[in-house]
Amino acid sequence: MSTKTPKSTVKSLLELILTIAVAIGLALLIQAFIVKPYRIPSPSMVPTLAIGQRVLTNRLINHPSVGDVVVFHPPAGADPATPDCAAPNQGAGHSQACDAPTRQESPQTFIKRVVAGPGDTIYILNGHVYRNGVREKDPYIEPCGNDPSCTFRTPIKIPPGDYFMMGDNRGASDDSRFWGPVPDKWVIGVAFFTYWPPDRIGFL
């Protein structure tokens, strides 16, 4: 009957350590470059996504399509308690949504829906986006009510390479209406799957 030698035991241990190290390395690479988990921090995407819900984001996509739910860094104008638009007569309290974001990138991470892309012209009535003259099909939104931030009647045109983001909870979302479109280079990825809580598992 043969017995394992100390040498073979050490070899097996080294193989196990190497296997674990490779698995961890692959997981980190996948999270850094391919798929990243994200936790929903606010009610701005209700009813589509609730606070605490968790999604997976495809990091290989940084040129999203209209309708995609996207994770991104907003302009630095999103950082103050009262958001800043680079154009002083646009955004909150005006008839025109912000079409000129501040130039700096915020370190914050937001999740919203793309409602318009480069070259699109939009205006907003009662929380509904009219893109190139056509109202969006928006069964996913929470009704806006009488909130004045839900209506921006003056049309704006989205600059090349930028995306206009809005939360599905139109009356309770800090989004592009107030701090402007988001450059594609600030897009982290497109959310495609929700994995928590268990009763909401599925594709977006």
Q: Is the pLDDT of residue 59 over 80?
A: yes
Catalytic positions, written as ranges: 44, 112
Residue corresponding to tokens 């989004």:
175
CA distances 105 to 102, 121, 169, Å, are 8, 24, 24
Q: Which two tokens stand for residue 34?
A: 């391919």
Location of structure tokens 């100390």: 6
Tokens for 35?
A: 């798929």
Separation between Cα atoms, residue 112 and residue 110, nearest integer Å: 7
Dihedral angle of Cα 80, 150, 100, 122, to the nearest 10 degrees: 160
Instruction: Kindly tell me if the per-residue pLDDT of 31 is higher than 80.
Output: no
- Whether the pLDDT of residue 15 is over 80: the answer is no
Residue 152 to residues 63, 106, 114, 126, 127, Cα–Cα distance (Å): 26, 24, 17, 9, 9
Place of tokens 């674990």: 20
Handedness of CA 193, 202, 108, 178 (dihedral sign): positive
Mean pLDDT to the nearest integer, 32-60 = 91
Residue range 35-41: mean pLDDT, rounded: 93
Q: Does residue 202 register a pLDDT over 70?
A: yes
- Measured CA to CA in angstroms, residue 173 lies from 21, 32, 120, 139 at distances of 42, 28, 21, 17
* H-run or E-run covering 9: helix 6-33
pLDDT in tens, 131-184: 999 999 999 999 887 788 899 999 999 999 999 999 999 999 999 999 999 999
Whole-number percent of the chain with pLDDT over 70: 87
Mean pLDDT (whole number) for 75-95: 92
Per residue in 98-128, pLDDT tens? 999 999 999 999 999 999 999 999 999 999 9
> Percent of the chain having pLDDT more than 90?
74
Q: What integer pLDDT is reported at residue 149 of this predicted model?
A: 87
pLDDT bin (cut points 50, 70, 90) of residue 29 is: very low
- Are the CB atoms for 95 and 173 separated by under 8 Å? no
Q: How many residues make up the chain in this entry? A: 204
Q: Are 160 and 118 in contact (CB under 8 A)?
A: yes
Average pLDDT in the chain:
89
Asked whether the predicted pLDDT for residue 83 surpasses 50, the reply is yes
Distance CA 16, CA 65 (A): 43
Smallest CA-to-CA distance from 156 within 115, 187, 109 is with 115
